[in-house]
């Protein structure tokens, strides 16, 4: 029997584990899409720790919603939403990131994290790697549709997906 996943707000003491999950998920998700030099950079975990410390303490992030998922005391997922940085979607909440370690895919962890940082039916936008059919299917299942916009970020092509307000 699978053990229960707990989704909660992160604490400052979680920063190192959040950074580990962030780096691990990038390595699992983007290997082959992004340079190994970036994914295996020895400074990458420390950079993610600095990011998460700022995200949890800096006033610039005060409007963000952040969540972590744990199972058996192990951090297995992270998510963060906040104001959009994109003028085209300025009036909707933006999913800045949602990562679940590969071993926890298909367990409902992604949905629980999404629900923790974006209210059900709340209009929202996100950028997702293309190709990343699994993630794109996950977001479609939750009402997001590609709107035709594309960009390249960190050497990865991304498409924008939008979820309109619930009727």
Domains of the chain: 5-163 (3.40.630.30)
Q: Mapping DSSP to helix (H, G, I), strand (E, B) and coil, where does residue 152 land?
A: strand
Query: Is the pLDDT confidence value at 73 over 80?
Result: yes
Does this model's pTM top 0.85? My answer is yes
For residue 57, is pLDDT > 60?
Answer: yes
Nearest-angstrom CA–CA distance, 45 and 54: 14
Q: Which of 138, 140, 157, 141 has the alpha carbon at shortest distance from 149?
A: 157
Residue 147: is its pLDDT beyond 50?
yes
DSSP-based three-state secondary structure for 167: coil
pLDDT single digits (tens) 8-28: 999 999 999 999 999 999 999
Report the alpha-carbon distance of residue 135 to residue 132 in Å, rounded.
Answer: 6
């Amino acid at each position: 029997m699978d053990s229960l996943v707990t989704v909660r707000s992160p604490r400052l003491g979680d920063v190192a584990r959040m950074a580990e999950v962030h780096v691990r998920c990038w390595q699992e998700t983007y290997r082959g899409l992004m340079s190994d030099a970036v994914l295996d950079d020895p400074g990458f975990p420390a950079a993610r720790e600095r990011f998460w410390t700022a995200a949890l303490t800096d006033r610039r992030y005060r409007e963000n919603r952040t969540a972590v998922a744990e199972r058996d005391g192990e951090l297995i997922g992270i998510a963060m939403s906040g104001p959009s940085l994109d003028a085209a979607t300025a009036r909707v909440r933006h999913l800045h990131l949602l990562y679940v370690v590969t071993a926890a895919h298909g367990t409902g962890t992604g949905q629980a994290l999404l629900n923790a940082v974006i209210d059900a039916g709340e209009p929202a936008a996100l950028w997702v790697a293309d190709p990343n059919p699994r993630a794109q299917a996950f977001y479609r299942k939750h009402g997001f549709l590609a709107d035709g916009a594309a960009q390249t970020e960190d050497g990865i092509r991304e498409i924008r997906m939008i979820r309109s307000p619930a009727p």
